[in-house]
Amino acid sequence: MRSTKTYFSTFFSGLLSLLKGMRVTIREFFTKKTTEQYPENRATLKMFDRFRGELVMPHDENGNNKCIACGLCQANCPNGTIRITTDTITTEDGKKKKVLVKYEYDLGSCIFCQLCVKNCPRNAIEFRPTFEHAVFTRSKLIKQLN
């Protein structure tokens, strides 16, 4: 007798649980959809300002950057992403000074660990929240920042 009772009670409670689930899904059927309409909403899509898209070296209006070619970013990079070419010049007052010739950054091997930005003594580099980086060849990912 008891088993008969459980037979029927499980049947009906099971049925009820299924209907409950169906009620939830039909409610969601009519609620607003959450799909991000990506290429269409390009104009309004804004990434968070801390998002790390790519490394850039900001230049002022005269085209100068703050890099002093100290090489700390290169030394701190765990992945060999940054390559700095420097040159030593003599300034007007006769002092030797290292200057930056080429600042190469390989977006393809960057792991966005932020150690370069954190260790830069002059805040010469920073991350920008850009995100459309897809290109067809790897070589295009190697960028010269200065």
Partner 1 sequence: MFDFGVVTQWIDELLRSFLPGTAATLVELVLIGLCLLVGYAVIALILIYAERKVCAFFQCRIGPNRVGPYGTIQSIADMLKMLTKEIIEINHVDRFLFNLAPFMVIIASVLAFGCLPFAKGLHVIDFNVGIFFLIAVSSIGIVGILLAGWASNNKYSLIGAMRSGAQMISYELSIGLSILTLVVFSGTMQLSEIVEQQAAGWFIFRGHIPAFIAFVIYVIAGTAETNRGPFDLPEADSELTAGYHTEYSGMHFGFFYLAEYLNMFVVAGVATTLFLGGWMPLHIPGWEGFNQVMDYIPSLIWFAGKCAVVIFIIMWFKWTFPRLRIDQLLHLEWKYLLPINLCNLLLMVIVVVFKLHF
Partner 2 sequence: MELIENIKHIAPDASVEEGKIPTITVPPTHYRQVAEELRNNPNLSFDFLICMTGCDWGDSLGVISLLQSTVHEHKVFLKTYTTNRENPELPTVSDIWGTANLNEREVFDFLGIRFINHPDMRRLFLRTDWVGYPLRKDYDASESINPVRLYSDDTLDTTPTYEATPEGEISEKENILFEDDEYVVNIGPQHPATHGVLRFRVSLEGEIVKKVDVNCGYIHRGIEKLCETLTYPQTLAMTDRLDYLAAHHNRHALCLCIEDALGIEVPERVKYIRTIMDELQRLSSHLLFWSSLCMDMGALTAFFYGFRDREKVLDIMEETTGGRLIQNYNTIGGLMADIHPDSIRRIKELIKYLPPMLKEYHEVFTGNIIAQERLKHIGILTRENAISYGVTGPAGRASGWSCDVRKHTPYGVYDKVDFKEILYTEGDSFSRYMVRMDEIVESIHILEQLVDNIPAGDYAVKTPAIIKLPEGHYFRSVEASRGEFGVYIESRGDKYPYRMKFRSPCLTLVSVVDQLTKGNKIADLIAIGGTLDYVVPDLDR
Q: Are 43 and 90 in contact (CB under 8 A)?
A: no
Q: How far apart are the first and last CA of the chain?
A: 85
Nearest CA among 84, 143, 86 for reference residue 109: 143
Among 3, 4, 25, 91, contact with partner 1 (rule: CB under 8 A): 25
31 binds partner 1 (CB under 8 A): yes
Among 22, 89, 101, 111, contact with partner 1 (rule: CB under 8 A): 22
**DSSP tag of 93:** T
51 binds partner 1 (CB under 8 A): no
Stated as kind and residue range, the H or E segment containing 28 is helix 2-30
Q: Which stretch binds partner 1 (CB under 8 A): 26-34, 44-52, 65-73, 100-108?
A: 26-34
Under the rule (CB under 8 A), what is the footprint of partner 2? 10, 13-15, 17-18, 20-21, 23-25, 28, 34, 48, 50-52, 76, 78, 111-115, 118, 127
